[in-house]
Structure 1
Amino acid sequence: MTTSHAARPPLPPFTRETAIQKVRMAEDAWNSRDPARVSLAYTTDSRWRNRTDFPQGREQIVAFLTRKWQREQEYRLIKELWAHEGNRIAVRFAYEWRDAEGNWYRSYGNENWEFDENGLMQLRFASINDLAINEAERKFFWPQGPRPANHPGLSELGL
């Protein structure tokens, strides 16, 4: 796969600490809800599988994320390292969002990531399930943007 020239540390092979750092960096970027910013963490020809969408390349990733965050309002995400080896990281995640009608959801999933030598993600495979929740069942309440350092993670929240 082709990459851009800019390295995105930490670089593989990942240690537990650098894998956790990479996961948190991805979480923070996605919580920005800035498709262009998020796309810079991927190779120029990165391939994704996300539910029924199969974006390839940064341009398609930006278009996909733009549509996603127009539909998934008040999006807040938590990612957690599941496993890592070499240039691969497995992540579990949950995010909360509401639709245009005000219905709330918590989406749960797993991602498998593969990185190139520059620390850019070249493959992303996501499996995601949505659960309708009542507003009273929400657990992610920080202001839009990165999750505060003192906010519990998935394990602490029992998710």
Structure 2
Amino acid sequence: MSRPPLPPFDFAAAVQKARMAEDAWNSRDPERVSLAYTPDSQWRNRAEFLTGREEIVAFLTRKWHRELDYRLIKEVWAHAGARIAVRFVYEWRDDGDQWFRSHGNENWEFDAAGLMSRRHASINDVRIRPEDRKFHWPLGRRPDDHPGLSELGL
């Protein structure tokens, strides 16, 4: 299975790869998201370590049961060869209607077929008031005309 664009990444390909990842995560479909990763993909997400698609699906299922109304924006920070670094922000609420803005950085490494073989994520959560939210599009893919992180001052 091949998942273009393939490494080595130029800036345009890195941006395309990041937007593809953003779109998949905004679907909140763990099975769909897992297909972008190698069957033995290695993850570090905060303090949790995962291996393989099965663990990724279980993790994302738990995540989106806890993080409601999830909306994400990713932005490429750097790229070289088969690696891409992104920063991201997502907004979500818990089941008590407390809103959060989560800020993070990810380091990605891809195999020759364009599947992500390694993902390292560091994330910090900040409580926000509902009126301070910046991500208001309907659940799902961020509209093309919605500002990105830099334009939003995040």
- What range describes the TM-score normalised by the shorter chain of this pair? over 0.9
| Aligned counterpart in structure 2 of residue 43 of structure 1, from 38, 49, 56 | 38
Q: SS at 2:3's partner residue?
A: coil
Q: SS at 1:141's partner residue?
A: coil
Identity of aligned residues (%): 71
Q: Offset of 1:55 from its aligned partner?
A: 1.1
Normalised by the length of structure 1, the TM-score is 0.97
Q: SS at 2:48's partner residue?
A: coil
Normalised by the length of structure 2, the TM-score is 1.00
Q: SS at 2:106's partner residue?
A: strand
Alignment of 1:1-159 (within 5 A): 6-159=1-154
1:83-126 deviation line (CA, Å, top 9, x unaligned): 00000000000000000000000000000000000000000000
5+ residue gaps, structure 2: none
1:43-63 deviation line (CA, Å, top 9, x unaligned): 000000001211110000000
In 2, Cα distance between equivalents of 1:146 and 1:117 = 27
Aligned residues: 154
Q: SS at 2:19's partner residue?
A: helix
In 2, Cα distance between equivalents of 1:152 and 1:130 = 21
In 1, Cα distance between equivalents of 2:77 and 2:46 = 20
CA RMSD of aligned residues (A): 0.3
1:3-43 deviation line (CA, Å, top 9, x unaligned): xxx10000000010000000000000000000000000000
Code of the residue aligned with 2:74 in structure 1: it is K
